[in-house]
């Protein structure tokens, strides 16, 4: 498999004005979703906001959606999308349930 066919997942953590910000880049699938799950669990504050920036994500599978739904059930999670990823949320009906934002600045407010 060439690097053009597979993009690994990288996750960075920064502190934002309202809580932690996870910056996610790459593909979220059944192989990489557990890495996202661990990062979300470690970063999710007991009170406050967790921003998950998916603007650098190129693929989002149902395994990744499941991680985000579970995080939403546990706390205040704001998700930054891009047009490709927003389509996944829209097609699955999760755009009505999850807190989605078009930019990091909007999610931080």
Domain ranges of the chain: 12-108
Looking at 2-11, 49-58, 65-74, 81-90, which range is the least confident one? 2-11
pTM: 0.91
Banded model confidence at residue 7, pLDDT cuts 50, 70, 90: low
DSSP code of residue 33: H
Give the CA distances from residue 48 to residues 4, 7, 78, 80, in Å, rounded to whole numbers and listed in that order: 38, 31, 11, 17
Which pLDDT value is given to residue 74?
Answer: 94
3-class state of residue 25 by DSSP: strand
Non-local CB neighbours of 8 within 8 Å, separated by 6+ positions: 26, 27, 32
Looking at 3-7, 42-46, 69-73, which range is the least confident one? 3-7
CATH class of 12-108: alpha beta
Banded model confidence at residue 6, pLDDT cuts 50, 70, 90: low
CA distance 3 to 6: 5
Banded model confidence at residue 27, pLDDT cuts 50, 70, 90: very high
> If you average pLDDT over every residue of the chain, what do you get?
93
């Amino acid at each position: 498999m060439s690097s053009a066919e597979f993009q690994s997942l990288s996750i960075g953590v920064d502190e934002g004005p309202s809580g932690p910000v996870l910056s996610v880049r790459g593909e979220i699938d059944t192989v990489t979703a557990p890495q996202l799950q661990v990062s979300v669990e470690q970063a999710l504050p007991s009170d406050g906001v967790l921003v998950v920036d998916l603007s650098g994500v190129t693929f989002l599978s149902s395994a990744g959606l499941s991680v985000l739904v579970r995080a939403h059930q546990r706390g205040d999670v704001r998700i930054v999308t891009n047009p490709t990823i927003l389509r996944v949320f829209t097609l699955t009906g999760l755009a009505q349930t999850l807190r989605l934002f078009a930019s990091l600045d909007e999610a931080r407010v």
